[in-house]
Amino acid sequence: MGRQTPQRTGSRVWALAQGQHGLVTRVQLVQLGFSRQAIEHRIAKRRLHPVRRGVYALGRPQLSRYGRWMAAIMSCGPRAVLSHASAAALWEIGNECTGEIEVSVPAGVDRRRPGIRVHRRTSLEARDVALHHAIPVTSPVLTLVDLATRLGPEQLEAAINAADKRDLVDPEGLRSALEEIPRRPSVARLGTTLDRRTFTLTDSQLERRFLPIARRAGLPLPRTGQRVKGFRVDFYWPELGLVVETDGLRYHRTPAQQARDRLRDQTHSAAGLTPLRFTRAQVRFEPGHVEATLAAVVRRLRASGPAVQGPSPLAPRHGSRPPWTGS
């Protein structure tokens, strides 16, 4: 193999950095044939910009958020991965709560870096690590496990919902994955949150507030996000023929949306269903009123017998003539 020309070597450095958010390590530069003097020369010429110990940005020192995460990982060694709150932020299922970037390394690695919170792990299996935006990071499952003892019940449920919404992991897949992880408090807490008696999938904090109110009103867990008579509904109890919508300002503030809501309610009423609609303010500040209303409606529906089944009253039954056609 012939000797590398400076131009070809420089091209290889750029190609490497492009896959690492504009970053390279000193070790990588040495492996590409750069001497210590060559590295120092490029630093002096501002072609390389030190951003962390042994990590350089090419061309310009400014880093994106991805670049800052990548630099933290690279400074902690080749087996380091983004983890905990920083991993949650990368997966978009949570937020970094402090200015520190959280990184996990193997137990035998000793790394102390300013601005980085280092977690030492006895093992990281292949299933525990992923690449997201070209950044090594703990898997969505392990990220949720790491967060479980830090977050309150609502925050943890929100993180699970966000992971499902982004197709990272669904609740059933998460439950199965937990069975393969050694038992520890965070795993147990995550499993409790996933218990079918207390957890159901919802799309917003508003809906999560509503579910405990419905349980207190004597309702079982509803179906969520179902399509009923052509409309996607928030909560549905088919055995009662009850449909409940919880209106948040984000999705229910335009005249067009309000008109669609009226059409939705009219369609459900015509089909023999009972539609109920509560506002954000009622669910948040008047839970007693919402609970009492639900309880009263549930008593009436149970007293009246099974919910209407079959086609809408406005649709003719199969094999019969519509009443307006005559005999």
On whether both 161 and 218 belong to a single domain, the answer is no
Query: Are residue 180 and residue 120 in the same domain, yes or no?
Result: yes
| Tens-place pLDDT, residues 201-258 | 666 677 788 999 999 999 999 998 889 999 999 999 999 999 999 876 544 456 777 8
What is the rounded distance in angstroms from the CA atom of residue 226 to the CA atom of residue 32?
56
The pTM of this model reads 0.68
Whether residues 79 and 186 share a domain: the answer is yes
Q: What is the pLDDT of residue 322?
A: 35
Question: Looking at 51-55, 56-60, 135-139, 316-320, which range is the least confident one?
Answer: 316-320
Give dist(CA 24, CA 74) in Å, integer.
8
pLDDT digits (tens, 9 = 90+) for 33-51: 899 999 999 999 999 999 9
Do 54 and 86 belong together in one domain? Answer: no
Q: Does residue 199 lie within any of the structural domains?
A: no
Residues 104 and 168 in one domain: yes
Host domain of residue 283? 205-303
* Residue 325 belongs to a domain: no
The strand ranges marked E within the chain are 23-25, 48-52, 55-58, 81-82, 101-106, 116-121, 129-132, 135-138, 223-224, 227-228, 231-232, 235-237, 242-247, 274-279
Predicted pLDDT of residue 273: 96
Q: Which residues lie below 8 Å from residue 65, measured CB to CB, with a gap of 6+?
A: none
Q: Name the DSSP class of 192.
A: H
Residues 175 and 271 in one domain: no
Q: Is the pLDDT of residue 93 over 80?
A: yes
Residues 238, 290: one domain? yes
pLDDT at 312: 40
In the prediction, which pLDDT does 321 show?
37
- Name the domain count of the chain: 3
